[in-house]
Chains A and B, each alone.
Chain A
Amino acid sequence: MLHPVPRLRETPSQTAGPYVHIGMTPNFADIRGVYASDLGASMLTPDTAGERIIITGRVIDGAGVPVGDAVVELWQADSNGSYAAPMGPGSNVAPAFTGWGRQPTDADGVFSFETIKPGPVPGPDGRPMAPHVALWIVARGINIGLQTRLYFADEADANATDWVLGKIADPLRRATLIAHREDGAPPRYVLDIYLQGDRETVFFDV
């Protein structure tokens, strides 16, 4: 089918470099006073509905070394499985839950999000996908941002029929996307992201 306008080429990606924390989490990088707080640092408000959880893990490179200069962004549905509607130019009030978070990794490669457990979202086949969050990872040495997902180990039945997990034949590869649960208040879901090697995380072309 002919396209009505000539397509432009997407601007090519470049690595976020070693100092991505300056641009994306400046307060964490000790650049204080420019922004009141780092964007995406807090995902919850008192009005956020849903089960409070912590999503945490480490980013680890192919030599087994924690990646301490990464940024991880998280995008998820609310507890009903709905994504936040886009804010227009006149939007002054953020919704009770935007579904987006951003965290730096620390010197041990650790990231941590305080959020809520998402509800199931319909997949392309119309059936619900298992609850999950989308993750995007950038750092020095990553030439184009890495897209992946985190699923929840205590959703085994939903995971077994998930549209995306079903595309991954190797159970060891599939397991790279499933966070284990540690009970607590709030419960923690833990998943390490391996950029390379025997336990390399499954990354997506989305």
Chain B
Amino acid sequence: MGVPEVLQPPLSLRILAAYRRFIRWLTSARVLLALILLVMMVYLILVPLYRMVETTVTYQERDVLAVPDAVPGQLTAYHWVRMLASRVSRVFLYAPLQHSLVVATGATLLAMFIGSVLAWLVIRTDMPGRHLVNNLATIPYIMPSWTIAMAWKVMFNTRVAGGTPGLLEYLIGRPIPTWLAYGPIPIIISSALHYYTFFFLFVSAALMSIDSNLEDAAELAGASRSRILRRITFPLVLPALLSGFIMTFSKVMGTFGGPNVLGTPVRYYVIATMIRSSVAIGEFADGFVLAIVLILFTIVTIYINQRLIGTRKSYETIGGRGFVAHVARLGPWRKVLAAGVIVFQVLVIALPLGLLAYDTFMLHPGNYSLSNFTLHYWIGKSDINIANGTPGVLRNPKIYSSAWNSIRLSLATAFFTALLGVILGYAIVKGRGTRLSKLVEQISFIPYVIPGIAFGAVYISMFSKRVGPIPPLYGTFALLVIVSVAKHIPYSARSGVSAMLQVGRELEEAGQMAGANLWQRFKRIIFPLTSAGFVSGFLLTFITTMRELSLIILLVTPATQVLSSQTMRYTENGDTQMANAVILILITLVLIGNFIIGRFRGGSLKKGLGM
């Protein structure tokens, strides 16, 4: 280079300067936090992922059966070739993947429409009954994903899948076409009705924080209503929409329940079914190849997401100025609209729940006569002729201890996940564009697509012995919390990022100049402003953890038994009424939690927005 030698400072000084620069970089809050998170995620996420990848590229013991000269543990491309380019690839990978993409795209678009419209109606209009709509909107997600699919089956069943015809065929007296009863269309609709909650929560949080002054300014400048929507409102909720898109899309891609009920009878298989199929017969390597293909698809989606909002479209809407929120007047339509929305929501909720509840009151399922009505499955004493002598669920002390465990686990997981979400959001958003931030964001997505059972299996070996400062945790309640938090990192990252994206940089900088340290800035500025994100992260995690089964089944002990594993016990035993009763208890508990958290959310949000 053309630098004269005399100007070159001595080497020691240059090293010192580089060292200082490094320390300054390292001690900036976002970098420090990002590094701490990275370490944590390396252990909690990358180790399981590494084990998965390792499994796919080595011969497993049972491969000897298919490949006679295979040496277990030896490196091989066998599983990848088998899944990607052999005669079975089409039935195990390409056709199911295509189905998954169709279902996930369709369900996500439909969910986006429902969720956004509802969010707009609740937050930005004078529609009556908004509180009710708001409260009802989270319930479909609270119900296990297959309940809506089951209700669909009861409504639309056709002769193809055997059994008695559905309610609709009974009413109209004509057979229902198969495409409406089974296959992609019903899977898309039932998944969208289940997952629209994601969009609703994110979009309403975003809409709440948009200052109407922005829209007013546009209106003053002469913009039409649709132009304001397109050019102001839509770009501002875009991060929330994309968060919802990714969550819903990857969730539907990975979901097994709905497609199992509505796809299996017409042999419409999705990739989640095939992963489960491989794992069920012990072909973990094949299953993990499929899971990694899913992970790659998700990473591509995240990449597109980052390209879309990463550089250009990041808007800070919570500024240091005053805040105004106007509501749109719906005029004479408001009551009709309100009635329509509420009827729709109630149908989506009441039908599945009603069927479940109705079932628990029947001594023998399918017999609708009054003499068959019973409260036995709820409050009956042990009777050897019914359900092998299991007492009614409300008399069973096991149910109470499981319920308590479920609540404990969900609250602990939700708290840590939401806290982690705010920190993750801070580290990712403040460092947006840097490689470190991208890395953290991408890793944070991986748990989504690691099958729950694989997570559990790897955690047994990771936590059964002391590793460095980590004590052996296998068999403890703490490990259940850790694995649940790890699995929910994608949720926390998403809600954290979309909340944090809206907090103006100047607010924190002002605090910094006034001499506030990181903790004070977090406590006094960041946290209050992102409490909506914190609470929605908390809520989502609370709900999902209550229902989680495959993730923790390998790690629970009788002492840490949870409600969801109780339903499995009853189902396997053929006591569907009791299983349904437990599901109803579970839903009730989540509803109560939802209600309490909702109170908290309203209060803190208003405070956060200075209202």
Chains A and B are bound partners: no
